[in-house]
Structure 1
Amino acid sequence: MWARLRVLCSSGLDLMCIAPDAFALVRELIPYDAATLYLTGPDGETYTTWQSSVLDCVRNVCASEEFNRKEDRYKISDLVMAAPKVGHMLQPPRSYFASLAYQEIVRPAGQHHVLDVRLELDGRRVGLLMLLRAPGAGFDGDDVDEILRVARYFEHAHRSAGCATLAEACLTEEAMVVANRGGEIMYMSGEAQVMLHELAQQAHAPATPGRVPELCQRVIERLASSQQLDQLPVARMWAPGGIIEARAQWLGGPGGSAGPEDLAERTPVGIFLKRVEPVPLRVWRSLQTAALSPQQTEVAFWMGVGVRRDEVREKVGVSEAGLRDCLKVIYDRFDCSSEAALAATLRGLAA
Structure 2
Amino acid sequence: MPASPHPHASPSQSPASAQQRLWQELDLLCRLGLGLAPIAPDVCAVLRALVGAEAAALFWLDEHGLPEGFFHEDSPAAAQDLFLNEFERLFVGEGETNVVALARADGPAVGRLLTPDAQYFRSNTYNLLIRAGGHHHTLDLRVEAHGRTRAVLLLFRAQGRAFGAAEAALLERASASLQRAFGPGPIAAHTLPPRPDGGTGHIVLDAIGQRPVLADAAALALLQGARLRGLGVLGPHAALPPDLALRLGVRPGCSSHIPVPHGLLLAQAHELLTPAGNTAQWLITLQLQRPRQIDVVRRVLQLPLSPLQREIAALAGLGYARADAAPLTGVGDAALKKHMRSILEAAGAGDWHELGMHLRG
**Fold conserved between structures, TM > 0.5:** yes
Q: How far apart, CA to CA, are the structure 2 residues paired with 1:43 and 1:218?
A: 15
Match in the other structure for 1:313: 326
1:70-149, aligned counterparts within 5 Å? 70-81=93-104, 82-121=106-145, 123-149=147-173
Instruction: Sort the Cα spacing of 1:324 and 1:221 in 2 relative to 1 into closer, same or farther, 3 A.
Output: closer
Confirm or deny that 1:21 pairs with 2:47. no
Shift of 1:184: 4.1
Q: Residue in 2 aligned with 1:240?
A: 261
Give the unaligned 5+ runs of structure 1.
224-231
For residues 33-44 of structure 1, the aligned pairs below 5 Å read 33-41=54-62, 44=65
The alpha-carbon deviation at position 191 of structure 1 amounts to 2.3
- Which residue of structure 2 aligns with residue 151 of structure 1? 175
Hey, what does 2:358 align to over in structure 1? Answer: 345
**Secondary structure class of the residue paired with 1:77:** helix
Q: Residue type of the partner of 1:332?
A: E
Does the CA contact (< 8 Å) of 2:40 and 2:71 recur in 1? yes
Provide the C-alpha distance between the structure 2 equivalents of 1:26 and 1:220, rounded to a whole number of angstroms.
32
1:169 aligns with 2:194: yes
CA deviation map 1:113-168 (0-9, x unaligned):
11011112255333211111112322122211110111221012123469632652
Listed one character per residue, the Cα deviations across residues 18-54 of structure 1 (whole Å, up to 9, x for unaligned) are: 1111222222211222222122356532223222211
Structure 2: gaps of 5 or more residues: 1-21
Checking the alignment, whether the CA contact within 8 Å between 1:112 and 1:132 is kept in structure 2 is yes
Cα 1:320–1:254 shift into 2, 3 Å: farther
1:38 & 1:6 partners in 2: Cα distance?
19
Distance 1:84 1:141 in 2: 13
Q: Which amino acid aligns with 1:97?
A: F
What per-residue deviation string (whole Å, max 9, x for no partner) do you get for residues 185-229 of structure 1?
A: 444433222112234x23x22416443686645779621xxxxxx
Residue 50 of structure 1: SS of its match in structure 2? strand
> Taking structure 1 as reference, are residues 193 and 34 closer, same or farther at Cα in structure 2, changes over 3 Å only?
same
Aligned with 1:195 (options 222, 230, 252)? 222
The answer to whether the 8 Å contact 1:179/1:268 transfers is yes
Q: Which residue among 70, 79, 82 is the counterpart of 1:49?
A: 70
- In the alignment, the residues of structure 2 paired with residue 116 and residue 134 of structure 1 have an alpha-carbon distance, to the nearest angstrom, of 15
Tell me, in whole angstroms, the C-alpha distance in 2 between the residues paired with 1:28 and 1:92: 24
Structure 2 length normalisation: TM-score? Answer: 0.82
Distance in 2 separating the partners of 1:254 and 1:28: 59
Cα deviation digits, residues 229-253 of structure 1 (max 9, x gap): xxx4211111112111122223455
More helix by share: 1
Match of 1:335 among 348, 354, 357: 348
C-alpha displacement at 1:73, in angstroms? Answer: 4.1
Contact 2:142 2:149 in 1 (8 A): yes
- Write the distance in 2 (CA, Å) between the matches of 1:73 and 1:210: 27
Return the offset for 1:98: 2.2
Contact 1:179 1:270 in 2 (8 A): yes
TM-score (norm 1): 0.84
Amino acid at match of 1:165: H
Is contact 2:212-2:244 (8 Å) kept? no
Amino acid at match of 1:139: F
CA distance in 2, matches of 1:222, 1:44: 26
Q: Summarize the alignment of residues 192-341 of structure 1 with structure 2, pairs less than 5 Å apart.
A: 192-199=219-226, 201-202=227-228, 204-207=229-232, 209-211=238-240, 216-217=245-246, 222-223=251-252, 232-251=253-272, 253=274, 258-259=277-278, 264=279, 267-341=280-354
Q: Which is further off, 65-74 or 325-334?
A: 65-74
Task: Give 2:81's aligned residue.
Answer: 60
State the 1:282 CA deviation.
Answer: 1.5
CA offsets per residue over residues 273-314 of structure 1, 9 Å max, x none? 222211211111222321111111111111111012333323
| Matched length | 330
Paired letter, 1:50: F
Q: Which residue type is aligned with residue 222 of structure 2?
A: M
Asked if 2 retains the 8 angstrom alpha-carbon contact of 1:166 and 1:278, the reply is: no
2:48 maps to amino acid: R
Could you tell me how far apart the structure 2 residues matched to 1:16 and 1:221 are? 20
For 1:19 and 1:317, locate their aligned partners in 2 and report how far apart those are by CA, in whole Å: 30
Identical counterparts, % of pairs: 26
Paired with 1:213 and 1:245, the residues of 2 have a C-alpha distance of 20
> What amino acid is the match of 2:89?
E
Match of 1:4, SS state, is helix
